[in-house]
Structure 1
Amino acid sequence: MAGFRDTLSKLLKARVPVLLVESYEEQRVLAEIAAVAQDALQVRTPRGLWTWSATRGLVSPDGGGRQGTTGAEAALDAAQRIEEPAVVVFTDLHPALGAGGRPAEPGVVRRLRDLAAAFRSGPVPRTLVLVSPVPHLPVELAKEVTVVDFPLPAEAEIRAVLDAMISANTASGRIRIDVDERGRERLAKAALGLTLHEAENAFARAMVDDGVLDAHDLSVVHEEKRQAVRRSGLLEFVDDSVPLGDIGGLENLKRWLAKRDGSWLAEAAAYGLPAPRGVLITGVPGCGKSLTAKAVAAAWGLPLLRLDIGKVFAGLVGSSEQNMRGAIRTAEAVSPCVLWLDEIEKGFAGGSGDSGTSARVFGSFLTWMQEKTRPVFVIATANDFAGLPPELLRKGRFDEIFFVDLPTRAERAAIWQVHIARRLRHPAVAGDLALDHALLTELSELSEGYSGAEIEQAVVGGLVDAYAERRPLRRDDLLRALMNMVPLSVTQAERLDAVRAWAENRAVAATAAEDWDLDNRAAGSAHAGGPQGGRRVEF
Structure 2
Amino acid sequence: MAAGVASARLGFEETLIDLIKARNPVLLVETHEAERVLKLVRSVAQNSEIRRSRRVATYTLTNGLQDGVAPGRPMAPDAALSEAAKVTEPTIFVFFDLHHYLGAGGRPAEPGVIRSVLDAAREFRAGRVPHTLLIVAPALPLPADLEKEVSVVELPLPGKAEIEAVLDEIITTNAANIVVDLSAEDRERLLQAAQGLTLGEAENAFARAIASDRRLDADDIDLVLDEKRQTIKKSGLLEFIEPAGSMEDIGGLENLKSWLGKRKDSWLPAASEWSIPAPKGVLITGVPGCGKSLTAKCMSTLWGLPLLRMDVGRVFSGLVGSSEQNMRAVLKLAEAVAPSILWIDEIEKGFGSSSSGDSGTSQRVFGTFLTWMQEKSKPVFVIATANKIDGLPPEFLRKGRFDEIFFVDLPTPKELKEIWRLQLSQRLTDSSRASGGLVLSDGLLQRLAEESNGFSGAEVAEAVVSACFDAYSQRRAVQEADLFRSIRNTTPLSKTQEEQIRQIREWASARAVAATSREDSGELALVGASAGRDVTSYRSGRQIEY
Specify if TM > 0.5.
Answer: yes
In the alignment, residue 336 of structure 1 is paired with which amino acid?
Answer: P
Aligned to 2:14, which of 1, 6, 30?
6
What aligned pairs does 1:136-535 form with structure 2 within 5 A after superposition? 136-162=141-167, 174-177=179-182, 180-181=184-185, 184-206=187-209, 213-214=217-218, 219-239=222-242, 241-269=244-272, 271-316=274-319, 320-350=323-353, 353-354=357-358, 358-425=362-429, 431-438=435-442, 439-517=444-522, 532-535=539-542
Of 126, 130, 136, the residue aligned with 1:131 is 136
User: Would the alpha carbon gap of residues 82 and 313 (structure 1) be closer, same or farther in structure 2, given more than 3 Å must change?
Assistant: closer
Deviation by residue 1:239-262 (Cα, 9 ceiling, x = unmatched): 473333222222221222122223
Change (3 A) 1:175 1:115: same
Shift of 1:149: 1.5
Which letter maps to 1:506?
A: R
CA contact (8 A) 1:278 1:398 kept: yes
Residues 421 and 440, structure 2, Cα contact 8 Å, conserved in 1: no
Amino acid at match of 1:456: A
CA deviation after TM superposition for structure 1 residue 428, in Å: 6.7
Judging changes above 3 Å, is the alpha-carbon distance between structure 1 residues 139 and 81 closer, same or farther for their aligned structure 2 residues? same
The residue type equivalent to 1:237 in the other structure is F
Give, as a single letter, the amino acid of the residue that structure 1 aligns with 2:100.
Answer: P
Cα distance, 1:314 vs. partner?
4.8
Residues 1:87 and 2:92 aligned together: yes
Q: Corresponding residue for 2:120? A: 115
Asked if the contact 2:62–2:73 (Cα under 8 Å) also holds between the matched residues in 1, the reply is no
Q: Secondary structure at the match of 1:33?
A: helix
SS at match of 2:11: helix
How many residues align? The count is 528
Distance 1:227 1:469 in 2: 44
Deviates more, 1:25-34 or 1:278-287: 25-34
- 1:379, 1:255 → 2: CA distance? 15
On the 8 A contact 1:303/1:338 being kept in 2, the answer is yes
- Asked if structure 1 preserves the Cα contact closer than 8 Å seen for 2:463 and 2:483, the reply is yes
Amino acid aligned to 2:179: R
The TM-score, its normalising length taken from structure 1, stands at: 0.85
- Report the CA distance shift for 1:459/1:326 in structure 2 as closer, same or farther (over 3 A): same
- Structure 1: where are the runs of 5+ without partners? 521-526
What SS class does the counterpart of residue 446 from structure 2 fall into? helix
- CA deviation digits over 1:105-127, x for unaligned, max 9? 56544543443333233322222
Counterpart Cα distance in 2 of 1:318 and 1:198: 27
The reply on whether 1:17 has 2:25 as its aligned counterpart is yes
Name the residue aligned to 1:524.
none
Q: Provide closer, same or farther for how the CA distance between residues 100 and 368 of structure 1 changes in structure 2, counting only shifts above 3 A.
A: closer
Distance in 2 between the 1:186 and 1:297 partners?
Answer: 17
Residue 242 to residue 52, structure 1, CA distance change in 2 (3 Å) = same
358-367 vs 189-198, which moves further: 358-367
C-alpha distance in 2 between matches for 1:353 and 1:121? 42
Distance change (3 Å), C-alpha of 1:354 and 1:105: closer
Alpha-carbon distance, 1:432 to partner: 3.4
Residue by residue, what CA displacement relative to the aligned partner does 1:229-285 show, whole Å, maximum 9, x if unpaired? 344444333347333322222222122212222322333345533221110111222
Letter in 2 for 1:39: N
Change (3 A) 1:132 1:221: same
Question: SS at 1:504's partner residue?
Answer: helix
Rounded to whole Å, the distance in 1 between the matches of 2:434 and 2:89 is 83
* TM-score, normalization by structure 2: 0.84
1:64 Cα offset (Å): 1.5
5+ long unaligned stretches in structure 2: 1-8, 526-533
Of stretches 129-138 and 103-112 in structure 1, the one that deviates more from structure 2 is: 103-112
C-alpha distance in structure 2 between counterparts of 1:111 and 1:295, whole Å? 55
Task: After superposition, give the CA deviation of every residue in 1:54-103 in whole Å (9 maximum; x if it has no partner).
Answer: 4554333xx31245356545544443332112222223333344434555
CA distance in structure 1 between the partners assigned to 2:73 and 2:360 by the alignment? 53
